[in-house]
Amino acid sequence: MDQTTEIKELTIVAPNIPIPACIVNEEGKIESANHHIEKVFPFGDVEEQDFFALSGVKLKTLRALAEANVDEDGPANGQENDQAKERDKTSAQEEPSEELILERNSRKFSLTAEALENGNILVFFYDVTSYEEIKNRYDREQICVCRINVDNYDQFTNAVSSETGMTVSTELNKTIRRWSSEIGGAIDKIKETQYVIHFQKSKLDELALGKFQILDEVRAIETGIDFPLSLSIGIGAEGKDISETAEFAAAALDLALGRGGDQAVIKNQNRIQYYGGKTQSVEKSNKGKSRIVGHAIKKLIEQSNRVFIMGHQHADMDAFGSAMGIYRICLTCGTEAFIVIDEIPENIRAFQEQVRAAENYNIIGTEQARSMIEKDTLIVVLDTHRPSYIEAPDLLEMTDQIVVIDHHRRVEDSIENPTLAYIETYASSTSELVTEMLQYVLNRKTLVRLEAEALLAGMTIDTNRFAVKTGARTFEAAAWLRRSGADTAEIKKYFQMDKESFHARAAALANAKIHEGGIATAITEGGGADVQVINAQVADGLLNIKGIKASIVAGINHKGITCVSARSLGDMNVQLLLEKFGGGGHLTVAGAQVEESPEEVLEKILREAEEMGRE
């Protein structure tokens, strides 16, 4: 049967098919159609018209649908055109097949396609308007669970009189309940600082579009002290039942709290979205958690036969310094311990050489760690909570005992089900958190000078010499280390750089560009293994220029990876900005590593920053 005969026969049969149908040729033109096609395209004759122009559906998409139909039903008459099959397979790879819904003439149609032997495609339009309306109604009326936590209520009540506390608490409660009413929610107050709201999913898009204005409204409540109240909001949606949706909400709230609070997180089966996060985490005055966590970690160490201590890849002084602090707890407990690190970055090499010279510390590579690990080995992960960032992620699968200590804002891909997680975003550094724990689990005289200097160096580098993200507890921890023998003059030597690195930093600063909105960018040339440290120093230096609100610096390291450092004075959340590029950090300090060139990634980051500014 030739092509002409086939088309004629289908044209004759098509009027008897009770649904709209047409034949599209290899050029994307409609060869013929039955009279029901007027239900889809009511404006007249569609023959010889371009199918894409009429429907917005590409020819390769039709071929992908047709290929899916062949896969499900088998080839017609046991025969296939090899060339057409290969072409359809390519089309399917280019654009995966899925249900196509076309909205025309105030109706909705589901498209299916069947490949003909001559290369043409037979297209059917099934009217699914009623089905889609029911599906959309079901989607709109799904119940979402919202959990709300008042982040810094304890600090607030300790800082104000009971009368002021009651007035502000009443205003806060009224604001939250008014917001719940606006979204048609049913609200329950669990305790003074926690609420649960159930509302329909139809309101969720409105909340996201409005960027959760409730966060700004609560922050605007006058507290009479030097920090505002803020909320953490976790919303669960689209669970298979209300129980799973509630679990999503709890996980979302944990993420919001772990990222420093003052933000909303929406979680469903496939996606997590973040909104807010405009303020710094408020430092907690109560050190009770440090004492509890310190004793818990000591207990875990005592019960383990061996401890592996790991920081993130390309370790800095914060990761290495905090590792030295945990190592001291292990020595005190009499438990065998090892610091696991493969490559010693240039920025900590001078200090690491002193550690090796002391001959009191076991430092091993990841291969050796793999051969030594056992099921009851304890792994302590420091200065990161992302599996992909640590020295040897596979080691996490070889033990049931994992402790995480970190000060970065929590991200989605965090280590799952750790035995103990101590993530405090208010802290200046992981070294600060470890130092506070050390005060409760060992005598100050037990800590040797080298360990005290390592911890103080970690705090120094992460606070840009105590200039940023530094609270009263930071200075208290630093003072304890100073009394333990840390020499600030010795620490300064650890931050010295060679002449080439100094020139690279000076050149990056000299060639920096200033963009609209007070954003400065720079590229570090020839930094090599030190590029990450140089980037951070350049980014810090650019903030000293008047009118600069944020700085972004990029450079290629010795492995060909582009390292990015971003800093801000608080007006821009650089953590949210660099999370879009696989990085993270804090509101004012963040970093990332990407495959693109420095020029390309800076251009993309500037576009994202501009978009954030408009929001």
8 A C-beta contact, residue 447 and residue 438: yes
Neighbours of 501 (CB within 10 A): 22
9-28 pLDDT, tens digit per residue, is 444 445 567 889 989 999 99
pLDDT-derived band at 98, boundaries 50, 70, 90: low
- H-helix or E-strand spanning residue 308: strand 306-310
Is residue 557 classed as helix, strand or coil in its secondary structure? coil
Q: What is the pLDDT of residues 502-544, one digit of tens each?
A: 888 999 999 999 998 899 999 999 767 778 888 988 999 999 9
Question: How many whole angstroms separate alpha carbon 306 and alpha carbon 310?
Answer: 13
pLDDT for 89: 43
> Would the pLDDT of 285 be above 70?
no
Task: Compute the C-alpha angle 599/312/453, nearest 5°.
Answer: 110
Q: DSSP E strands: which ranges in 530-597? A: 550-556, 562-568, 584-585, 589-594
DSSP string, 360-407: ---EE-HHHHHHH--TT-EEEEES---GGGBS-GGGGGG-SEEEEEE-
- The answer to whether 532 and 565 have CB atoms below 8 angstroms apart is yes
Q: What is the pLDDT, as a whole number, of residue 280?
A: 59
The closest alpha carbon to 355, from 336, 339, 342, belongs to: 339
Spatial CA neighbour of 33 closest among 9, 14, 50, 16: 14
Structure tokens at 609: 């920053």
Taking CA atoms, 451 is separated from 23, 215, 328, 458, in Å, by 77, 42, 8, 11
Q: Residues 2, 26: contact at Cβ < 8 Å?
A: no
Give residue-wise pLDDT tens across range 554-605: 999 888 889 999 999 888 888 888 888 888 777 788 888 898 999 999 999 9
- The conformation of residue 223, written as its DSSP 8-state character, comes to -
- Is 80 exceeded by the pLDDT of residue 118? yes
**Does 335 have pLDDT greater than 90?**
yes
Q: b/e map of 263-277 (b: 16 or more CB within 10 Å)?
A: bbbbbbeeeeebbbb
Task: Indicate the SS3 state at residue 102.
Answer: strand
Q: What is the mean pLDDT of the chain?
A: 85
- Give the pLDDT mean for 113-124: 89
Higher pLDDT, 585 or 79: 585
The helix (H) or strand (E) run that includes residue 274 is strand 272-276
- Residue whose structure tokens are 């098509």: 14
Whether the model clears a pTM of 0.85, i.e. scores above it, the answer is no
pLDDT per residue over 151-163, tens digit each?
Answer: 888 888 888 888 8
pLDDT at 267: 92
Task: Report d(CA 280, CA 295) in Å as an integer.
Answer: 28
Measured distance CA(495)–CA(350) in Å, rounded: 9
Given a cut of 80, whether residue 134 has pLDDT beyond it is yes
pLDDT at position 258 over 50: yes
